[in-house]
Amino acid sequence: MGLNKIGILTSGGDSPGMNAAIRAVVRTGISYGMKVYGIHRGYQGMIEGDISLMKTTDVSNIIQRGGTILKTARSKEFMTEEGMAKAYASLQLHGIEGLVLIGGDGTFRGAVNFFERYTIPAVGLPGTIDKDLSGTDFTIGFDTAVNTAVEAIDKIRDTAEAHDRLFIVEVMGRDAGYIALNSGVACGAEDILIPETVTDIDDVLNRIDRDERRKKTVHILVVAEGDDFGGSADVAKSVIARFPKLDVRTCVLGHIQRGGSPSYADRVLASRLGYAAVTALRDGNTQVMAGQINGDIVYTPFNKVIKGTTPISPDLLDMIRVLAS
C-alpha cells in the first residue's frame, strides 16, 4: 500500500500495556521505513493538532510502565461533524495516511463514525481492562487488572478472617463482568455478581444464611460495578437489613485496577498486536481490530467488534458456588 506516514493514539480509559503497544507500533513502523506520529490525548488531540513525530528513542524504557505516554482523553467534540472535520484536517496537515487506534468500545465506535465520512486506513488494538470486545480472547490490560484485583482481595480476605467479617468488594466492569468473574474465581469468593446475569438478591442472601448456619465465618462477595442490582453499597444495604448482627464492610477497588506495571502477558500481547497492526496497515488490511484468538493473530472489522462480546459460560458461576460451599 506504500504508506509513508502513520499516526498512533490511545483513547478512552488507560490500561496497563498501552505503552508496550505504542513501543511496538513506533519501532515496527520505523523499521518499515514509515514516519510515525504520536497523537496526544486521543481524538481530542487529533482535533487540536497535538501531534508530534516520534523516534525510536521516544519509546525506550516504557514497556514496563503503566498508563500511556501519549495521554488519553474522552472527546465529546469528536462525536460532532465539526469535530471530525477538524480532526481530519489535522491529519491532512501532517500528511498522515494511516492510523493505529488503541482503546476500547468507545474508541472503535468513534472510528466507525469517522471513517464513514473520511477515507483513511486504520487498524485498532484492544486496549481496555474490561475485556468487553469481541474478536480477541484477551484485551491489553485485562490480565494486569485482574491480578491487581486478586492481590487486593487476598489481602482483604486476611482481615476478613481476622475479624469474622463479610466483605463486599466492588471491582471495575460497567458493562462486562470479566474482572469480577476471574478475580472472584481466583480468590475463592463466596459469590460473584456481574452484569451478564440477573442478580436475585434473595438467592444471594439465602446463600449467606446457609453459610452462617454452617458457622462459616468469612464471606467475600465480588461485585462488578455494573451489576444490575447495583454496586457494593446497594448490596451491603440488603445484607445488613437481613443480617443486622453481621460485621459487613465494603471496599471499592476503583482506579487502582487501571494502574501499575503491566504483567508479562499484557506486555507480550501488546507487543504482538502492535507489530501486527502496522503489518496490516502496510499490507492494506484496514478498518479492522487486531486481536488474538487461540494464540493466533486475527483481524475483525470495527463494526463487528462493537456489536458483540464473548458470552460468559453459566457453568463458571455454578462452579463458583460449588467450590465456595
Catalytically active residues are 130
Cell 482481615 belongs to residue: 159
Bridge partners, 252 (sequence order):
170
Measured CA to CA, the distance from residue 42 to residue 111 in angstroms comes to 11
Bridge partners, 22 (sequence order):
none
Bridge partners, 166 (sequence order):
219, 248
33 in helix, strand or coil? coil
CA 264 to mean position of chain CA atoms: 16
Cα-Cα-Cα-Cα dihedral sign, residues 173, 272, 63, 44: negative
DSSP H helical ranges for 95-231: 105-117, 142-163, 178-187, 201-213
69 in helix, strand or coil? coil
Burial of residue 151 (CB within 10 Å: 0-12, 13-18, 19+) is middle
Cα–Cα distance list, 201 to 2, 171, 197, 204, 256 (Å): 58, 18, 12, 5, 28
Name the residue among 203, 166, 158, 148 with its Cα closest to residue 320. Answer: 203
217 in helix, strand or coil? coil
Measured CA to CA, the distance from residue 266 to residue 143 in angstroms comes to 6
Measured CA to CA, the distance from residue 265 to residue 143 in angstroms comes to 7
Cα–Cα distance list, 61 to 19, 111, 142 (Å): 10, 30, 22
